Structure 1
Amino acid sequence: MSSLSTKLAALEDAGKPIQVGIIGAGKFGSMYISQAHRTKGVRLAAIADLSPDRAVSSLQKTGFPSSKFNTCISLSDGLKYDKTVITSDSEAMIATPGIDVILEVTGNPAVGVRHALLCCEHKKHIVMINVEADVLAGPLLARKAKEAGIIYSMAYGDQPALIAELVDWARTAGFDVVCAGKGTKHLPQYHYSTPDTVWDYYGFTKAQLSGGDFNPQMFNSFLDGTKSALEMAAVANGCGLRPPSDGLAFPPCGTHDLPQVLKPRSAGGQLEEKGTVEVVSCVEKDGRAVFGDLRWGVFVVIEAPDEYQRECFAQYGIKTDDSGWYAAQFKPYHLIGLELGISVASIMVRGEPTGQTRTWAGDVVATAKRNLQQGEKLDGEGGFMVYGKLMRAEDSLRTEGLPIGLAHGLVLKRDVGKDQALSWKDVEFSEKNQAVAVRQEMESIYRKELGSVRWDSAAVRD
């Protein structure tokens, strides 16, 4: 089988490069933009951003050749003359014939849902970098994409896709997956962090903050555990793994201890069962740094199926737990948007996603950071009012959990206590809102098709 780069080079030689459209020119988008013009067989056809000036700034600061983009020509002329076009009209970009793959990088769940449905309508493959949208409605969006004959994919370089790759490696090699996940910086008090406290927790100085584009609410969504919950829900849904029953525990753990800590309690570890997801913290509960931390990486823990494989672990120097039965593989870093081109290539030359939502196993429910009062308006992910808690999908459905992706701009109908999970009954909402309607359609299908533990539709499977 030819490598991805070889196949891309063949497309370049044939004069048939992959045409890519990207929505959102923020940090993640900029990282991809910096690599796009360096990749044979790929063309960045267009950038859609509500601020065209920001898109131009992204091109300039990432070293994109000025001769390769144009702010004044149409999308169709851009394809004709091999120029990257800047537009504020994402819908027009998605509808443009000749563009092959759309990269959704907005981070806005409602907008991500709308773009995914437009890609289905206009037959464009989509890489859903927007994990908020994927967790909100990914199981249904993946089904609709399959029905439309397009590929709906996780983003290579982002942690969920890299974790899915490790899980696939383990299963393809014949191992059962005990646990899969990533590292981060987390302490229990971080759940209550707000945009006003986030920089103190991160330890950034005023000088550092003055020298970059730092969005306190976005950074706070990483710190308060919401992003970790979203990413682990995406992994659970993409790999058929089961979230912990009471959410992520964030145990402090270095790479050398992964197989010791992340094994079942019955075997001396901290997991309630095998086949789950978890996030390990790079700081101890008292604030000390964890030795050999995995803050920027991803991992999978496997189990030797028999004594022979256990002996092989020992013979080849694999770091295991004390019993020798459990071992881990990990990747210490991820390159975010710099690696995103792998998704584009895999979709177009292999016809395969780099990870994809296939079941509804995990959900992320808005949970009160403080006592909330009737009449208050929710301020969403990373804000002052709620954080996202990972839940099993069946528990979210049973309690009518309000997904974190919709916890923005909705007004509370009643008081909600600190640490209480919010429900649909707690807020005023309109079923005419597209994102609300899509989410409720997904919940309705889940109840109707299975009404039990998981939604694992044959329509989403290959």
Structure 2
Amino acid sequence: MTPLHPGTAGTAPQGRTVTFALTGACGGFARTLLATARLTGDIRPTVLCDRDTDGVHALAADLGHPADALLTADTPAQVAEAVATGRIAVVADIALLSGADFDILVEATGSPAAGYRAARQALLEDRHVAMVSKEVDSVAGVGLAAIAADRGLVYTPAEGDQPANLILWYERLAGLGLDIVALGKSSEYDLVYDPEQGTVSQLDTTVAAPELGALLRLGDDPNATLAARAEAVRALKRSAAADHCEMAVVASATGFTADRPELHYPVARVSELADVYAHRDHGGIRERDGVLDVFSVLRLPDEASFAGGVFAVVRTHDAQTWETLRAKGHLVSRDGRYGCLYLPYHAMGVETPATLRRAVVEGAGVSPRTPHQCAVLAGRADGDLAPGTELTLYGHHHEVRGVAPALCDADAVPADAAPFYLLAGSTTAREIADGSLITLDDLADVDPELLSAWQAGRNTTAT
């Protein structure tokens, strides 16, 4: 099998089957992984965990599994019996993963507390962990990685989601000796401009934006053009907590951090990225080097999507080398100072088997470095919050109601700043003014285990 991602492992050695347990087994990611596992021959699920066990059976049937290939299990003995007889155990309770037979846990619940418990339990039972739930990773990833390292196990983001893909891309380019100044990804959904209608569409939302027709080129003042584009699409919500969360995971692995807590989110065409992410002194948006960011893709209806892909902006070295690359279609800034190298896809669970093989067969994650908490995904009150306000998750991108994400350098926020996804499920202990950074003392009913994991990771140092 040819790996999707440069540098990923191929199929496992002949005769070696990698077995996995999957939490959040009814989600969209789960389907893409389970569908792909059916094709590989060397990646096999043994336990599928989701509160909707009927939904898991329906999904498996839709993917071609015979009805008798899965068995709903309510006890550890039933789980063991199912796996021992070559069937897939379907469980509703994460606790039933304890003692089950699998090589690696794929954690995809999206629940900070439940996902943390599942991952920690797996590590303490000497199972590797591939983390899909970036919400868990942004709070407890550093602490979980430390547990894994102590036990000689792998804890890693999973390929197919942008954090792992971007970390791998960083490792590949850094290994080539390139001077990387910015890393990032596109937002989840493109802005598609229709010049005939004078409208811009994001998924199923279309708004009038005739002024974009005159803004399709950066012009002599890129920052003015970017500001005008942002104003033209102001009716569309482009910022998402999920984007900030993914960049927080990348920060822990690379040491890069956000240029500003709210991120830049430029509305940019792919061909412009080397110019857009130039330093401000050279006409771009960056204030410094080592920046993480997210951009909104602006494209025409007949142009290919960036497909949630990832990019790196580098300083060019030998001018002739990069002019040769420009001639071959690579992105080089107009002044020749910067180049942009990118991967225009993120294929979800289609890519994840490479992570499972890498972890189980090679004993490696997507990064050779131990993660450290160089950034904090914090939260600011989005309006005044009264005492007793419940802070709940909502929406596809797991926003926290009443709170705006802020991706801050770890040394720029107080030690008691509350991580964004620790807020979910808690209530406010006192009044919090609009715009205030939320601290641990502002909260009641915080999950104690997740808090302990956060504090353990917060106290780590770079290695």
* TM-score over 0.5 for the pair: yes
Cα distance between partner residues in 2 of 1:315 and 1:270: 25
Q: Find the counterpart in structure 2 of residue 80 from structure 1.
A: 84
Q: Deviations over 1:325-345 (max 9, x none)?
A: 211111222111222111111
Q: Any conservation in 2 of the 1:21–1:103 contact (CA below 8 Å)?
A: yes
Letter in 2 for 1:408: A
Letter in 2 for 1:427: L
Which structure is higher in helix share? 1
3-state SS of 1:167 partner: helix
Distance 1:68 1:223, change over 3 A: farther
Q: Deviations over 1:282-330 (max 9, x none)?
A: 359xxx9998763522111111234454444345442200111211111
Are residues 1:376 and 2:389 paired? yes
Cα distance between partner residues in 2 of 1:317 and 1:55: 45
Q: Find the counterpart in structure 1 of residue 410 from structure 2.
A: 393
TM-score using structure 1 length: 0.81
Cα distance between partner residues in 2 of 1:299 and 1:226: 20
Distance 1:339 1:361, change over 3 A: same
Q: Any conservation in 1 of the 2:372–2:457 contact (CA below 8 Å)?
A: no
Structure 1 residue corresponding to 2:266, chosen from 239, 248, 251: 251
Distance 1:441 1:175, change over 3 A: same
Q: Any conservation in 2 of the 1:370–1:418 contact (CA below 8 Å)?
A: yes
Distance 1:17 1:293, change over 3 A: closer
3-state SS of 2:138 partner: helix
Are residues 1:281 and 2:285 paired? no
Q: Deviations over 1:83-114 (max 9, x none)?
A: 11111232332422x31011001101112221
Q: Find the counterpart in structure 1 of residue 248 from structure 2.
A: 233
Are residues 1:27 and 2:28 paired? yes
Q: Any conservation in 1 of the 2:50–2:91 contact (CA below 8 Å)?
A: yes
Distance 1:59 1:169, change over 3 A: same
Distance 1:204 1:319, change over 3 A: closer
Structure 2 residue corresponding to 1:414, chosen from 430, 453, 457: 430
Are residues 1:351 and 2:363 paired? yes
Cα distance between partner residues in 1 of 2:386 and 2:370: 36
Write out aligned runs for 1:319-358 (5 A).
319-355=331-367, 358=371
Q: Find the counterpart in structure 2 of residue 70 from structure 1.
A: 71
Cα distance between partner residues in 1 of 2:390 and 2:238: 22
3-state SS of 1:37 partner: helix
Q: Any conservation in 2 of the 1:186–1:283 contact (CA below 8 Å)?
A: no
Cα distance between partner residues in 1 of 2:286 and 2:63: 43
Q: Find the counterpart in structure 1 of residue 129 from structure 2.
A: 126
Letter in 2 for 1:76: A
Distance 1:423 1:94, change over 3 A: same
Distance 1:67 1:127, change over 3 A: same
Q: Deviations over 1:419-445 (max 9, x none)?
A: 332111222245x721112212333x2
Which structure is higher in strand share? 2
Aligned residues: percent identity? Answer: 22
Are residues 1:262 and 2:266 paired? no
* More displaced stretch, 333-342 vs 2-11: 2-11
Cα distance between partner residues in 2 of 1:369 and 1:150: 40
Cα distance between partner residues in 2 of 1:335 and 1:302: 25
Q: Any conservation in 1 of the 2:257–2:408 contact (CA below 8 Å)?
A: no
Q: Deviations over 1:342-365 (max 9, x none)?
A: 111111222221347622222211
3-state SS of 2:12 partner: helix
Cα distance between partner residues in 2 of 1:387 and 1:65: 45
Structure 2 residue corresponding to 1:303, chosen from 315, 320, 323: 315
Cα distance between partner residues in 1 of 2:305 and 2:353: 28
How much has 1:417 moved relative to structure 2?
2.8
Structure 2 residue corresponding to 1:106, chosen from 91, 105, 109: 109
Q: Any conservation in 2 of the 1:300–1:328 contact (CA below 8 Å)?
A: yes
Distance 1:403 1:323, change over 3 A: same
Which segments of 5 or more consecutive residues in structure 1 lack a partner in the other structure? 188-199, 206-221, 447-454
Q: Deviations over 1:184-218 (max 9, x none)?
A: 1689xxxxxxxxxxxx985369xxxxxxxxxxxxx
Cα distance between partner residues in 1 of 2:174 and 2:63: 38
Structure 1 residue corresponding to 2:419, chosen from 393, 403, 409: 403
How much has 1:371 moved relative to structure 2?
2.1
3-state SS of 2:258 partner: coil
Q: Any conservation in 1 of the 2:383–2:433 contact (CA below 8 Å)?
A: yes
Are residues 1:173 and 2:176 paired? yes
Cα distance between partner residues in 2 of 1:147 and 1:257: 44
Q: Any conservation in 1 of the 2:189–2:202 contact (CA below 8 Å)?
A: no
Letter in 2 for 1:394: D
How much has 1:147 moved relative to structure 2?
0.3
RMSD of aligned residue pairs (Cα, Å): 2.9
Distance 1:433 1:28, change over 3 A: same
Q: Any conservation in 1 of the 2:307–2:346 contact (CA below 8 Å)?
A: no
Cα distance between partner residues in 1 of 2:83 and 2:112: 29
Q: Deviations over 1:139-158 (max 9, x none)?
A: 12111111011100111000
3-state SS of 2:113 partner: helix
Distance 1:311 1:235, change over 3 A: same
Q: Find the counterpart in structure 1 of residue 145 from structure 2.
A: 142
Cα distance between partner residues in 2 of 1:314 and 1:283: 21
* More displaced stretch, 376-385 vs 226-235: 376-385
